[in-house]
Each structure stands twice: as structure tokens, then as C-alpha cells.
Structure 1
Amino acid sequence: MGAANSVQRRAPASHIVSDQKAAGNEAKQCAETEKPAGRATISTYNAIPNARKSPGHARTECEQPPPTKPGATKIQQFARCLMRGTRVATDGSPICVVGLCGRICRGSRPTDFETLLGPAEDQSGQEAARLTWLVGPDGLDTLISAVAGSNTTAEAETTAALPPVINMLMSVGYTVLDTYRGIVKDGNSYLLVVMPAADMNARLATWDGLLEVLRECYPDLAPHLSSVWPDLERDSTTLGFDELERRYISEDFPPLSGLHQESVSKHISRARLGELGAEGKLRTHHVRAWLFVAANVRKNFRGDGYTWLASGEKGNEEWIMRNRRIDEMDSVATVPLGQPTSDQVTKYVCEQFKAEQRLAEQRRPDEAKISAAIKLQAAFRDYTLRQQQKHSETAENQQNVLPQQQSSASCESETEWRPTPAQFTGALRRGDKLPRSKKLAGLCGRVCRGTRATHFLGLAELDGQRRVVFMLGSDGLEMVLRTLHMPLQLLLYLGYDVLFVYEEIMRGAVFELVVIAESSEAGVVPATWQRLPDVVAASFGKDGKRLSTLVEKHLPQMQKESFYDLQQAYTHPKTGVVMSMNEARRKPVESESSDEPPWRMTENRLLQLQNCRTADVRAFLYHAMNLNNLYSGDGYTYTQEGGRGFREYLAPNKQKEELGVEWSSCPIGMPTIDECMEEICRAYDKLIERKMLGY
């Protein structure tokens, strides 16, 4: 679908139409001035209630002839109803949207609104957009519902009251990342252009309709597109977008999922598409990738004339037409939609992401679809590796590189580097790079965090709540050495949740890396199921042995059942209601004496249970030791998509001075708030996509 993901714009100025106020219910009506007939019929409205006014929309300049077509009155009536958030006109008649379509344009400059999609002349050197996506009659009706469902009191505009424009954008398929970037980073305001579909030669966005518009916009490509179109429609249905993208990446093109303005030039171009067509080498994955880049035909486009929301729900009709200047279009109306604050968008994203995370843990995974996702991830990694190999020599010549030869005490072989903890942290501080021929060995590490100096006395805060900590092995530390200049990516590589990182930064936390030598003296063991009883016995003091016995008793069943099954079995003994382990983990330890669900399974609560279930023990491991839904018990970290990461270890939480081995520490750079929010938006969109795909 394209309606939600394109850059959208506003009309130019030639005649000033000032805001006017009428009496009674028409206090915010259309500000119209009759002029001699010109090229367009444009009506300007004040921003809808509870939406921040954009200075760019307070006054709009346009030629303003009186309505001349039969549909013009219907269009203006819809605009007034949208403004008031009601389906009933001022005369009591129901609003009629049959035959209308609309385009939500966005931008931060007057030139951004010259056409339905982009400036009339693209200043970036890229080809200007030739076609644009529209919402149909049912989409326009949805927009009115979104306004009506929002708080329409201007005084209630707080971070808790969501402005209608956010509801409107989400209702027609905008992604969270698009919304966040547009409002917070680009300072966009939004404008709805309403028009008659027939007069604009708009087509329903089916495969046939899309081909017709492409023939109109790209006549030179029409024969080539027509020749592969039946195969494209078939492959898009039978193979799916992911497989077509994998084939595209295999030809050394970049992944489509990482598309941004700077990377457009690296993708297949219109000229290259024509060359492949002329040579008889044009394939369906070439056309599908070009449609994604040039025509904004996104991953969830199905060609049935409807949008498909990220949640998997069938959305509204979507239409498509040739991109046109707004001042050359007959009988249109424009309605400024306002601009939410960055705080409102941030709060919305974080709350929705947190809710989706809780739901994701309670969904049964689909192994076949997870395997397909891992296959696509492998294609991404192969592409990245090829790109790195192309530039490795140049990059290494420009970076500080660790010495190829180390002393016999610190280098065991030509392919292995065994530094002391102090040597490793020294390399981090200098920004040294590990040669590709070298592998790090002999060390393990722990990322600590806190807001006060006392928080860094141990491997985690020594408040009695964290008895066991996760450690990363040499392969994880090697990644630290290679990615220290990207602190957020580093933390994500190491298994941190991006929302958790954001919340920690907001409360003023900083991060530190503690590196220790591999040794049994520190109690560091692989994070496998088999080693859990020993770790529990060593970490929970006088209760360690009893807890270890419980863990060992239920260990075979925990290995046999999935986290999903155990989560479903974690029910309140009296009511039978399933208790979310994720939600319970956020409750304070003091809540252990309360019978109110969900239970946070502390060591005391577990030992007091008369009939301890396997699900109770699994909840204890989650809440007391942070073994969440991604813990697999094979000694490796895993991503939400099922991809295997680094080796991970477990160790008792001790003061650094009591570790009994050599250690060293150094600070890790801080991610910015904006970096965290962008990643939260991406992660949220991925969660919704996985929900749509069923895993």
C-alpha cells in the first residue's frame, strides 16, 4: 500500500484567503472568497478541534472561483463535517462520501504542498513522483470517525489526550515510524485534499488498476511492465514479498526494508528496468523492487483494492492516480489537520509498544514462519557481508588496528587474541579495531547501568533483588570492540530491549562495561538449562538449595514445553485467569504478599506454594533471574524473530572486589533519545507485522 508511506505536500499561494468566523454552529466554516473563474476550486478550513494549528495552514493562498461542478457542494459539505467530527451536516442531512476520494499530504514548507506528492520540481536530483495514493469513500468516512472518537475540547490537549490527526493517520495505515519521523524530526503539518474520483481519473488500486496508472505515468516502460505483469501478480501471491526481496538482494542490491532517501540511488532504477526489459532479462523481483522504490508499493500491498493494516486487518479502499499539481485540479477542498506535539507522539508509541510486547509473549510461535524470517535475515547478513568485504581493506587502512603480533603471554596463536581485561578496555578507549583475521578469546563481560556511583559497586545493583546476572562471552565482547561507535546498536546486539534502554536514559542512567578474565573463581557458567540448578544454589543464600531442588525437579518439563505453553499454564489457582509473566515482572517485590494477580514470583512466594507447578518455577526464573521468553537454554541469545546471537553466561551478582579474578571497566557511550525513539518505532512496527503474519 502506498497511501500511508509517501511524502505528501500542499498547494502554492497566489491569492490570500483569510480565516473567517461565522456565527453559531458554523463558527469554523469554510473561509471562501468568490473570485473570477480560475484553475482550481480550493476551500481552506481552520484546523480541526484539538489539533495544534500549523502556522503554514493559518492562511492559505489560492485562486478561489465559486463551485461549478455538481460534486463541489458534496466535497465542501464533507470538509465541514470533518472539521466538526460529525457525519451530519448543519441542515441535519447525513454526509455523503460516494464518489469522493482524498489524499493526506504532509510537509514543512509551502513548496511541499504544490502537488499531491512532493514539490513540482524535485531539488534533490531524484526523479519527481509520478503517481500518488488516495483513500476512497470509506477511508474518508473513517477519518470522520477518527475525529469524532477523539477528545474535541481544545483545553484538554495534553499528552493524555490524543489529537485527532494521530488517530486519522493510524486509521488509514500510516506506520508509527512514519508518524514519529514526520512530526518530531521533520516538523510536518498535515493537509487533507478531497476530490471527485471520476474527474481525477483515479483507479482502484488493484493489480490491473496499478498497471493502468503506470502505463499513463511511464509510457516508455509500458511494454516491459505488461509483459511480466501476469507473472508478477502470480509470484506476489504464491511466493510472497519476502522471497521476491531475497532474490533481489541476491543480485547485490540493498534490502528494501532499509530504504531511505540516501539509499534510493543504490536500488534498481527506471533506466535499468528498461535495459533489462530490452534484453529479455526482466524478472518479477526486479519489477516488484522498482515498484517498492519508485511507486511506493509497499510490502503489504495485495492488489485487491484495499489497504491492509500492519495488524493484519483489512482496511479501507485505496485508490491511485497520476500525481498532479493541486492548483490544476478542478473542484477540490483542502482541510488542515493540525500537528501533534512530539511528547504526544512519544507517549503514544511507548504505551502501544509496551502493550504489544505483553501480547507477543502470549502468542504461540509459528515455527514455519519463523524459519522463513530467519531465511530472510540470512539474506540480509549475506548482503551486508559482501558489502563489508568490498570495503574492508580501505576501512582498515583508515582505522587504528590492534597489533597483529602480541606478546607470548597475551597471544596464543596467530588467529586468536587473548588480552588482559585492562588491555581490552584500553583498546576500547583508544577506538582500536580488531583485525578480521583475529578472534577474541579468554574474556567475558557484563554491561552495568545505574544513576549513582553505588549502583556500580557490583555486577548489578546490590539491593538484594538481583541475585544472578547475565554475562557475555568473547564473541559478544568482540562485537563491542567493532561497534562501540554505535552505542544503541551495541546494546541491542547484547540483548537489551529498546524500550528499556529508552526508559533508563530518561531516568538518567549511564552504562558501563565490566570485563573479567574467564575463570571458574567468578562462578561464570554457560546459560544452559543443565547449569541452572547450580547457579540457583550458589546465588540464593540459605534458600539456594531448596530453590535448586525445585528447579531441578521441573527442569525436564521446562525443556520440553515452550514458553508460550508455560505462560498459558501460569494461572491464578482460584480464578484460573492467565497471569502475564511480563506484566508481573514490573510489579514491586513487596507485592509478593498480595493475592492480586498477576503474581510476581519471588523466591519467598515460590517456597510458600503448596503445589508448585512447572509454570510457577518458570515464572520464578523470569522474575528473579530475568530468563524471559527469549531464553532458550542452549547458551545463546536469540532475537524476537528467532535468529541466534551470541553466547551468554550466568554468574552470581557480587561486588567487583569479590570476583576473585582480574577485572577492568570503561564507560559505554550513550544513545540519544531520538535514536531510541526511532528504534522503538521500528520495533513496534515489526511487532505488529509479526502479529499480522502469525508469529
Structure 2
Amino acid sequence: MGAANSVRRRAPASHNVSEQKAAGNEAKQCAETEKPAGRATISTYNAIPNARKSPGHARTECEQPPPTKPGATEIQQYARCLMRGKGAATDGSPICVVGLCGRICRGSRPTDFETLLGPAEDQSEQEAARLTWLVGPDGLETLIKKAARSNTTAEAETTAALPPVINMLMSVGYTVLDTYRGIVKNGNSYLLVVMPAADMNARLATWDGLLEVLRECYPDLAPHLSSVWPDLERDSTTLGFDELERRYISEDFPPLSGLHQESVSKHISRARLGELGAEGKLRTHHVRAWLFVAANVRKNFRGDGYTWLASGEKGNEEWIMRNRRIDEMDSVATVPLGQPTSDQVTKYVCEQFKAEQRLAEQRRPDEAKISAAIKLQAAFRDYTLRQQQKHSETAANQQSVLPQQQSSASCESETEWRPTPAEFTEALRRGDKLPRSKKLAGLCGRVCRGTRATHFLGLAELDGQRRVVFMLGSDGLEMVLRTLHMPLQLLLYLGYDVLFVYEEIMRGAVFELVVIAESSEAGVVPATWQRLPDVVAASFGKDGKRLSTLVEKHLPQMQKESFYDLQQAYTHPKTGVVMSMNEARRKPVESESSDEPPWRMTENRLLQLQNCRTADVRAFLYHAMNLNNLYSGDGYTYTQEGGRGFREYLAPNKQKEELGVEWSSCPIGMPTIDECMEEICRAYDKLIERKMLGY
């Protein structure tokens, strides 16, 4: 786009006198209207129309006849329709948004709304933001569609109770984690600023448009950015963001994915970028990382002028411009969008996360993309290892280690620690740490949970629902000893789903670790495909043998086919509709015998099927034994990203007194609700990102 027309032109006759008067009356009405609690109002700055040249835009249904250049009347009309949650004016005429753009500002203090992006004078003594991102005309239309209908009283003409703004934010590219942190932790409220695009010298967010704005905002960097820009555009398309980030991390910079305010100083700075440019050492990964940190050019930026939503869908147009003070901008309207409650945000996130989890289990995994993700994780681990090595001497001096005086039964070699279950749990209670030179051996464990004392009599609740439980081996217990001060991370390391942890905490559950000695007497066996028939036979009483025979019969096919393929084959015999195993597992116990899909495959239902399919057996293992989509059958846990975790074992659910081996238990600390919600948001965003990438 070219620069905005600098000559102020006379407004067309249709905008003179009558429309100026109408705009003035509207502005006066807004100024005189008090803002009730929970209501939104319109405020304006310099609300006299000045019709400057607006950028061209593809015609929409509202462009009949061709619109005049946008002035205060159009801007205020849009703002009022947004407040009322309607796409038409009170007289029924369509709203024209051609030539308009908008910025959703956020903050918890009045100074946060001085400019389009934060305080005019940054309170953290860092350089104030120089450029900002805008939604285009189609984005403004989307915001109106997302706004729910408000009250129909006469006061809705000037004020309206806006719905939670979450859907609106997500529709223009906000992440769930940013939204949750902003609302719940920072107390943010949101303000929409509507403005004429041409008057603001806004540009479509293409690679060329971004470079133009950067030249305007950072004239000292303009030559350096221009020299590498063609290569940056090429590498961003051919290599992708992950590869550029990997190269950036290889130079001892921190991962961009973990960017937060405290870590900004560790990333490449504007001054360093200029130095590299002057030395002829500036590379595309340096510029891409700096854009990520300084200009908020996130991972999903493609440079085609559109947002790309976390779901992988093409969104609306996005625009960019130099950051400006709102009170110095002509012909703009500001519309407070309200502030959702913590409960509203939590409910939205949990519901969406559940839905995406169900969909994720039904997608065919892309092995190549999973491999690429694992490589990036390896780069993160390498960076972390380098950082740990730098501080290893200091950490060694400060680290509290296990007591040197151990019984002969506890220390059989210099590199192996074989404690009794009681010695291990006592070390946990004291908060001892295991030296990295030591390896734990000879124990396995189980994390139990419940809300009453009777829930902890066995390895799981003894209500007949859990016949088989998962156990962790010595490597998992070793991680317990290292991360006991981080209970949520501990549970996630051990394979717990974060949403499940959150729901358990909300119902008042507590967690306990049971440690037992490795022994065949307790029936603990590696969680491999080959051992499943034996575990089933030993755990399901009189039906165990029949169920074991079915599992053994279909075992080769289950090993051969992916979970995705078996999930697609889990269809209703009469309708042929695919039944979600994940959704069926969440059904209440009383519905297990119901014929209504999706079926929860209990042992009774499986035995009653006349023509048992491999998918039916796989559903039984999922529902009755908790072998979900991450179960690989090689004896190890796996993350959603495909990374291998710890050794895992299976055992019959028994009372602790019937285990036949020495055991000991101790409580595990409780994660906070806020920790769980942050992790749910983070997991949800990752889930959506994997969906976008195709795995």
C-alpha cells in the first residue's frame, strides 16, 4: 500500500451539515450517557467526518451502492451495531465496514489504553511498542457476528450488556493461554478502537507491508532488514519457523516458545541486530527471532495478509501500523468490550479442550511431522542442558542430597540406590534430592487418588470399575524424587491428563503415592502387548479367561493397526457411525448398558457381542483398563507429541494389605487451580497447533 493521502479533501455533500450534525449529536449522547455496571458505551475522539482516501477492498454484500469514504458516521454506526449484537442499523440498513480497521486493546490500568498497544511511557523502562496489529474490515464483521444479542430495550441504542469477549478474541487470533492469563491473572478488560485505515497509514500484513512499517518504526535498522528480507521470506516458507528457531537456539538463545516478560532481555536485541547487520553476520533466523520478540510476529504468520487461527483455518485480514496515542487519532470510536469472569473463561477453555481431545484421537498421525516435533523438543533439551552445565557448580553447592549414611541394603553400588519402600517415602517426606550420579532401582509405585479414606484401601478405588491399574517403575519414581516440589509437573510426567487432574481437584480429590518392592507376588508386569492376556486373565475374575482369549485372538491386529485406524473402525453396527472411544469413556456408569452410542465397552458388553471386532476389543482395553490413544504396547509412556517417557507396568487392583510385598505410602502435594488452568490453556494451544500442522 502507498502512504496515506496527506491532503485533506472536502467531504462529499452527503457528509456535510446533516451527517456532521448527526455525528455530533451521537457523540454528545455518548458523552452524556453514564456507564452502568457491566455495560458498554461508545466514546469518540475528534468525531467530525473527514473523508480521506480509503484502501481498496473486495466488495461485500453491504457495498450496494458503492460506499462513500468512511467518516465518523460509519464508524459510530458500526460501534452501535457491535454493542447491540446486530449486523444492521436500527433502520435495517446494512453496515458498511469497507475502509475501516480496528484494534482490540487490553489492560488493567487507565495508562494501558493511552496508545493502541500499552502505555505511552512503558512502566518497565523498556522501549515502548512501536507497531501494532489490526483487524481489517472482514474482521470487524466477524466481531459483530460473534457478539451475542443483547437486551431489546430502548437503552440498547446507546449501551448494551456485551457477552463474554472470549469468542471474539479467539476469532481474531488470540491464544487461549494469553486470554486466560490476561483476564484471570492480570484482570484485563478489552477495548475496541475502530478507525479509518487510510487515515492511520495502516498496511495489509504481507511481507512487503511488514517491511514498510518496520522501516517507518525503525529507520536505523531499515538497511539491515532490507538486505535480508527476500531471504527471510524464502526461508520462512521453505524451512519453516521451527527450523529457524532451532538455528536460533543453537547460538545459545532461549527458545521462543517460552517467551515471557522476564526472559525478553535474554533474546536478541535491537542493538545486537544492528551490530550483526553492520558486521555482515545478520542471518534470517536472527531477524525472525527479533520479529517474534519485538514486533509480535508469531509462529503462524505467513505474510499473506491474513490471520491463521490456531485451528489451522484461514482467518480474517490482518493489518499493521505504527503505534499511536488514541487521543491524537482523528475519527475513531472506542467500544469497551467488557471483562469476562474467571468462571466463564475456565468453563470455555475446559469445554473446548475436551472437544479437541476427542477430535485429536480421531486424526491419523503424520509420522514425519511427529518426527520433526521431536527434533525440536531435542533442541529445547539441548539448550536446557547447556544452561544447566553453566550453573552446575553453583547448583552442586546448594543441592541437598540423600544422607550419606545408608544401610547396606540401601547402597549396593556407587551408582545404584536400592532403598526399601519405607526408606524411599521417608526421603520424600524430608524433601531429599537424588544426586544425578545415582540411579534408583528395585521399586515400583502407583499414584492413588480419592476424596474419602475408603478410596485409598486399594491401588485404585475398589468399586469394581478398575480391575487393572498402571504402575510406574524405578525411573518414574526417580522423577518423583526430583520433582516432588512441583506436584502438577510430577503428575504430568507420570502420564496424567491435565484436564483430568483439574477435574479431580475440583471435586476435592487428593493424591497419594504407594511404593512397593519389585516382586512377582504383586502381579506387576511390563505394560506390553504380549503381557496383556495374562493381566486380563488375572484381573477379571470368572470372566478373565474368556476375555483373555478374545484379547489374545485380536492381539496381532491391534499391534499392526494404529489407534486411529481402530478408532475409525469402532462404528455402531446398525448405523455405521463412528463412536468416539474418548467420549464413551466419559459416560456415567449407569449408562454403560445403554444401546445409545457411543458404547462404553465393558466386559459384559464385549462378551455379549456375537461377532467381536478388533476395534471392540481395543475399546474394551481403553474403557476397562485405561489403555488410551497414547498406549504403544512397548512398555513406555508417551506424550501427545510422540516423545517417550518412563517405563510403565500393569497390575491387578488389590487391597494394599493383599499385595504380598512390603509397601509404604505418602501424600503428594496438591497443584493449585491456577496452575492447572494455565497448563490446560497451554495444552489446548499445543493441541490446536498440532491440528494445524496435521498431526
Give the TM-score normalised by the residue count of structure 1. 0.90
Distance 1:469 1:671 in 2: 23
Summarize the Cα distance change of 1:162–1:382 in structure 2 as closer, same or farther, 3 Å threshold. Answer: farther
CA distance in 1, matches of 2:398, 2:253: 26
Partners of 1:425 and 1:54 lie apart in 2 by 71
Residues 123-175 of structure 1, C-alpha deviations (whole Å, 9 max, x = no match) = 21222111100111111111111115688899999999992522211111111
Deviation at 1:669, TM superposition (A): 0.5
Give deviations 1:511-567, integer Å, cap 9, x for gaps. 001111111111111000001011111111111111111111110000000001111
- Which stretch shows the higher mean deviation, 386-395 or 101-110? 386-395
CA–CA separation in structure 2 for the residues paired with 1:448 and 1:53: 67
- Tell me if 1:678 matches 2:678: yes
Q: Deviations over 1:237-257 (max 9, x none)?
A: 000001111111111111111
Q: Distance in 2 between matches of 1:346 and 1:6?
A: 48
The 3-state SS of whatever aligns with 2:29 is coil
Deviations 1:250-302 (A, max 9, x none): 11111111111111111111111111111111111111011000000000000
Distance 1:81 1:157, change over 3 A: closer
Tell me how far 1:43 sits from its aligned partner: 2.6
1:340, distance to aligned residue in structure 2 (A): 1.2
Coordinate RMSD, CA, aligned: 8.0
Change (3 A) 1:186 1:527: same
| Aligned CA distance change for structure 1 residues 572 and 93 (closer, same or farther; 3 Å) | closer
| Cα distance change, pair 239–482 in 1 and its aligned pair in 2 (3 A) | same
Deviation of 1:13 (Å)? 34
Residue 299 in 1 paired to residue 265 in 2? no
Distance (Å, rounded) in 2 between the aligned partners of 1:345 and 1:38: 16
Contact residue 8 and residue 50 of structure 2 kept, 8 A: no
Alpha-carbon contact 2:539-2:652 (below 8 Å) kept: yes
Structure 1 residues 146, 19: closer, same or farther in 2, change over 3 A? farther
Moved more, 151-160 or 52-61: 52-61
Q: What are the superposed Cα offsets for residues 438-487 of structure 1, whole Å, 9 maximum, x if unpaired?
A: 11111111000000001001110011110100000111111111111111
Query: Contact 2:27 / 2:44 at 8 angstroms: preserved in 1?
Result: no
Please give the per-residue CA displacement for 1:490-524, whole angstroms capped at 9, x wherever unaligned: 10010000000000000000000111111111111
Deviations 1:321-375 (A, max 9, x none): 1111111111111111111111111111111110111111011111111111111
Counterpart check, 1:360 vs 2:398: no
Equivalent in the alignment of 1:19: 19
Q: CA deviation at 1:691?
A: 1.0
Contact kept? 1:47, 1:338, Cα under 8 Å: no
Query: How many angstroms does 1:32 deviate by?
Result: 6.5
Cα deviation 1:157-194 (Å, max 9, x = unaligned): 99999925222111111111111111111111111111
**Cα–Cα, structure 1 residues 509 and 29, in superposed 2: closer, same or farther, change >3 Å?**
farther
Answer yes or no: is the 8 Å Cα contact 2:356–2:688 preserved in 1: yes
| Cα gap change, 1:202 to 1:344, in 2 (>3 Å) | same
| Rounded Cα–Cα distance in structure 2 between residues aligned with 1:407 and 1:55 | 80
What is the deviation of 1:2?
Answer: 22
Q: Which residue does 1:489 correspond to in 2?
A: 489
The alpha-carbon deviation at position 661 of structure 1 amounts to: 1.0
- 1:83-142 CA-to-partner distances (Å, cap 9, x unmatched) read 222232234432111111110001111111111101111121222111100111111111
Q: Hey, what's the Cα distance between the residues in 1 that align with 2:224 and 2:631? A: 50
Report the Cα offset of residue 36 of structure 1.
Answer: 28
Structure 2 CA distance for partners of 1:538 and 1:161, relative to 1, 3 Å:
farther
Counterparts of 1:388 and 1:506, CA distance in 2: 36
Query: 1:61: how far off?
Result: 37
Distance 1:374 1:447 in 2: 27
Cα pair 1:469 1:625 within 8 Å, conserved: yes
Q: In the aligned structure 1, how far is the partner of 2:632 from the partner of 2:9?
A: 48
Cα distance in 1 for residues equivalent to 2:687 and 2:642: 13
Conserved 8 A contact 1:12-1:110: no
1:475–1:9 CA distance, 2 compared to 1 (3 A): farther
Answer whether contact 2:27 2:43 (CA < 8 A) is retained.
no
When the two structures are aligned, how many residues end up with a matched partner?
A: 695
State whether residues 39 and 327 of structure 1, in contact with CA within 8 Å, keep that contact through their aligned partners in structure 2: no
Q: Cα gap change, 1:33/1:412 in structure 2, threshold over 3 Å: closer, same or farther?
A: closer
Greater Cα shift, 322-331 or 635-644: 322-331
Deviations 1:594-613 (A, max 9, x none): 21111111111111111111
Distance of 1:359 and 1:222 partners within structure 2: 45
The 8 Å contact of residues 75 and 332 in structure 2, kept in 1 or not, is answered as: yes
- Deviation per residue, 1:387-437 (Å, 9 max, x gap): 122223322322321145644321121111111111111111111111111
Deviation digits for residues 178-216 of structure 1, max 9, x if unmatched? 111111111111111111111111111100111111111
CA distance in 1: counterparts of 2:431 and 2:667, whole angstroms:
13
Q: Which range moves more in the overlay, 588-597 or 280-289? A: 588-597
Does the 8 A contact of 2:117 with 2:132 survive in 1? yes
Show structure 1 runs of 5+ residues with no match.
Answer: none
Q: 1:36 to 1:280 in 2, by over 3 A?
A: farther
1:133 is paired with a residue of what secondary structure? Answer: strand
